[in-house]
């Protein structure tokens, strides 16, 4: 049994969608969450900058003696996962492989849409992973840059979100996709709005659950599971505290949380 915690990192509060699934799949594990709220969004930034931010987040999480790390950010996964896995001697996983696998399995007509930040879409990371599984699947990407600030503002289920979704998603609707990957961890918070726009016949793929399952399998394989009987604890850290983060986080997780600020530049 390994009692050390698991680190979860995202550019903001979106990674809480992954943390929520990890809590369901691995309820006995202690979790340490870091949201880089001072520098969100990551989407428009260069690969070098995102790698720098990712390494700083990992360095911070390592000070909490974590045994594994989940990069719960699609942009950071696309731009820095391979380099992070090479740099650190600890299991590190991202969210893209799990999302690609789920999308490939869910499509019936072989047309999959990917929505994400500019960085994730430009990387074509989802395209590459889906093509590894089935070369016949057609993949269409659409950058939805305004979705992250809409979620961070707490506007996920507002008319602003609905009109923005309508504008972004009409291109994918014209391609007749039957599955859309929510290729940013913020986007599940917009699932209702997106679903109302594209209709029930289009499956919305949330990579979070599959990522949590992948994490569990890795912990089992490496004999790192925490087998204690009591529920694990969660600690939350951010690079900038604002009133919105704890309130939105509480609404999503259905529990009160305490948030601590970290001077992430030190790491």
Write down the pTM of the prediction: 0.87
Percent with pLDDT over 90 in the chain: 79
- Grouping H, G, I as helix, E, B as strand and the rest as coil, residue 61 is helix
CA distance 253 to 115: 24
Q: Is 3 helix (H, G, I), strand (E, B) or coil?
A: coil
Q: Report pLDDT for 75.
A: 92
Active site residue 73: yes
| Mean pLDDT over the full length of the chain | 93
Distance CA(115)–CA(139), nearest Å, equals: 11
By 3-state DSSP, what share of the chain in percent is helix, strand and coil, each rounded to 5? 50, 15, 35
pLDDT of residue 243: 73
Over residues 131-151, the pLDDT tens digits come to 999 999 999 999 999 998 898
Task: For residue 10, say whether it is annotated as part of any ligand binding site.
Answer: yes
HSE-up (13 A, CA, CB side) for residue 188: 21
The yes-or-no answer on residue 144 being catalytic is no
Over the stretch 64-119, which tens digit does the pLDDT of each residue have?
999 999 999 999 999 999 999 999 999 999 999 999 999 999 999 999 999 998 88
Q: Which tens digits make up the pLDDT trace of 163-218?
A: 999 999 999 999 999 999 999 888 988 999 999 999 999 999 999 989 999 999 99
Q: Averaged over 234-263, what is the pLDDT? A: 84
Please determine whether the domains at 5-94+209-266 and 96-207 fall in the same fold group of CATH.
Answer: yes
The catalytic residue among 26, 70, 73, 151 is: 73
Choosing from 19, 68, 184, 238, the catalytic residue is 184
Contact 185, 17 (CB under 8 A): yes
For the chain, the domains span 5-94+209-266, 96-207
**What SS3 string covers 165-202?**
HHHHHHHHHHCCCCEEEECCCCHHHHHHHHHHHHCCCC
Annotate 195-205 with b (16+ C-beta within 10 A) or e (fewer).
Answer: eebbeeebbbb
11 assigned ligand-binding residue: yes
pLDDT bracket for residue 228 (50, 70, 90): confident
74 marked as binding residue: yes
The CATH number of domain 5-94+209-266 is 2.60.120.10: no
Assigned CATH topology for domain 96-207? Rossmann fold (3.40.50)
- Identify the bridge partners of residue 205 per DSSP, sorted by sequence position: 181
**252: confidence class by pLDDT, cuts 50, 70, 90:** confident
Model confidence at 44, pLDDT cuts 50, 70, 90, reads: confident
In this predicted model, what pLDDT tens digit does every residue of 19-42 receive, in sequence order? 999 999 999 999 999 999 999 889
Q: What percent of the chain has pLDDT over 70?
A: 100
Q: Distance of CA 49 to CAs 30, 84, 202, Å?
A: 29, 14, 35
Q: Is 75 annotated as a binding residue?
A: yes
**Cβ(207)–Cβ(114) below 8 Å:** no
**Which string of b and e fits 24-52 if b means at least 16 CB within 10 Å?**
eebeebbbbbbbbbbbbbbbebeeeebbe
Higher local confidence (pLDDT), 240 or 247: 240
- 3-state SS class at 87: helix
């Amino acid at each position: 049994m390994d009692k050390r915690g698991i680190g979860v990192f995202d550019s903001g509060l979106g990674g809480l969608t992954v943390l929520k699934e990890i809590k369901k799949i691995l309820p006995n594990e202690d979790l340490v969450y870091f949201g880089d709220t001072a520098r969100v969004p990551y989407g428009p930034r260069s690969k070098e900058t995102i790698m720098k931010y990712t390494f700083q987040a990992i360095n911070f999480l390592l000070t909490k003696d974590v045994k594994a790390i989940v990069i719960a950010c699609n942009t950071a996964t696309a731009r820095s996962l391979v380099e992070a896995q090479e740099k650190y001697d600890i299991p590190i996983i991202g969210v893209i492989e799990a999302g690609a696998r789920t999308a490939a399995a869910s499509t019936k007509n072989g047309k999959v849409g990917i929505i994400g930040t500019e960085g994730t879409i430009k990387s074509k990371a989802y395209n590459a992973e889906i093509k590894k599984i089935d070369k016949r699947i057609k993949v269409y990407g659409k950058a939805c840059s305004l979705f992250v600030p809409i979620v961070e503002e707490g506007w996920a289920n507002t008319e602003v979100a609905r009109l923005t979704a309508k504008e972004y998603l009409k291109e994918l609707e014209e391609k007749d996709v039957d599955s859309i990957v929510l290729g940013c961890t913020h986007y599940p918070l917009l699932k209702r709005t997106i679903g109302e726009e594209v209709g029930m016949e289009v499956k919305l793929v949330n990579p979070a659950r599959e990522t949590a399952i992948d994490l569990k399998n890795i912990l089992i394989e490496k004999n790192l599971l925490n087998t204690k009987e009591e529920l694990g604890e969660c600690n939350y850290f951010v690079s900038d505290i604002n009133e919105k983060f704890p309130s939105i986080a509480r609404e999503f997780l259905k529990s009160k949380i305490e948030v601590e600020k970290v001077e992430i530049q030190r790491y």
